[in-house]
Amino acid sequence: MKLLLLLGMLTACAATPQDLSGKMFTFPQQTKTAHVRLTTTKQEFTAITVCHRSFTDLQRDHAIFSMATPSNSNAFLIFWDQTHKEMEPHIKDTKSEITGLNYKSNMWHSICTTWDSTTGLAQLWFDGQRSIRKYVNSGSAIRGSAVIVLGQEQDSHGGGFDLKQAFVGMLSDVHMWDYVLSPCEIQKYVNGLNFTPGNALNWSALELQITDRVLIEDKHESCV
């Protein structure tokens, strides 16, 4: 009975959302294990917006945001291709490529990606600048139990990590919505103004599980 109670309390603790406002995840070394797993209760996305800020000096391919479902390991993936110097949103295992971005090392970049299943169009907002709108795929939603991983790229549902695609650096302000944000809402996110927090992932109420060396640190954005 006591054990059951304790287990119950531990589970409750693990499921308690954390407010990470003003904080960031630091991934300080290249490994094929260190990652953060995020939990969303949404099971279906007919449209999606994912925003995050990232900071790295990697000069190779890497994943910034990886969401897998049982049927699509790249259900929603944001991947930097170093060879072609392009940011690649993958949606339901279909890749699109956005080129011409000024993805500089050692500075924060805010990246928002939108997609909707009706038009099948994806668009990237890189440091507040819109990309062209590109057809990826249409007609069906992203469905099934979603595993969201930061720090590694999933080749299977919750696993299949690759050292050469691991993220090293800092990540912050991760939000996910089950609809396409308006350009104005995206500008508010980019400028750090009052925006509607994600209804699928909310940085101010995030359910997370850390494996290996990932730190939660203050961003120290100002000295005031």
Q: Could you tell me if 125 and 187 are in contact, meaning their C-beta atoms sit under 8 angstroms apart?
A: no
With binding defined as CB under 5 A, does residue 155 bind Ca ion? yes
Q: Is 6 exposed, middle or buried (0-12, 13-18, 19+ CB in 10 A)?
A: exposed
How far, in Å, CA of 113 to CA of 130, rounded?
10
Instruction: Write down the residue that tokens 């970049």 correspond to.
Output: 109
CB count, 10 Å around CB of 146?
25
Between 32 and 109, name the residue whose CB sits nearer to Ca ion. 32
Q: How far is the CB of 68 from Ca ion (least distance, A)?
A: 11
Q: Could you tell me if 66 and 104 are in contact, meaning their C-beta atoms sit under 8 angstroms apart?
A: no
Structure tokens at 101: 């971005």
How far, in Å, CA of 12 to CA of 31, rounded?
29
With binding defined as CB under 5 A, does residue 81 bind Ca ion? no
Distances (CA, A) of 18 to 102, 205, 216: 32, 5, 11
Between 79 and 125, name the residue whose CB sits nearer to Ca ion. 79
Q: How far is the CB of 161 from Ca ion (least distance, A)?
A: 8
Q: How far is the CB of 32 from Ca ion (least distance, A)?
A: 11
Q: How far is the CB of 137 from Ca ion (least distance, A)?
A: 19
With binding defined as CB under 5 A, does residue 162 bind Ca ion? yes
Between 116 and 153, name the residue whose CB sits nearer to Ca ion. 153
Q: How far is the CB of 62 from Ca ion (least distance, A)?
A: 10
Contact range with Ca ion by CB under 5 A, out of 19-27, 48-56, 111-119, 146-154:
146-154
With binding defined as CB under 5 A, does residue 61 bind Ca ion? no
Contact range with Ca ion by CB under 5 A, out of 46-54, 114-122, 158-166, 196-204:
158-166
Between 86 and 162, name the residue whose CB sits nearer to Ca ion. 162
**How many residues of this chain bind Ca ion (CB under 5 A)?**
3
Could you tell me how far CA 188 lies from the centroid of its own chain? 18
Contact range with Ca ion by CB under 5 A, out of 16-24, 40-48, 53-61, 148-156:
148-156
Q: How far is the CB of 165 from Ca ion (least distance, A)?
A: 5
How far, in Å, CA of 124 to CA of 185, rounded?
14
Q: Give the chain's end-to-end CA distance (angstroms, integer).
A: 50
| Among residues 88, 116, 153, 178, the one that binds Ca ion under rule CB under 5 A | 153
Structure tokens at 183: 């350009």
Binding residues for Ca ion, rule: CB under 5 A, are: 153, 155, 162
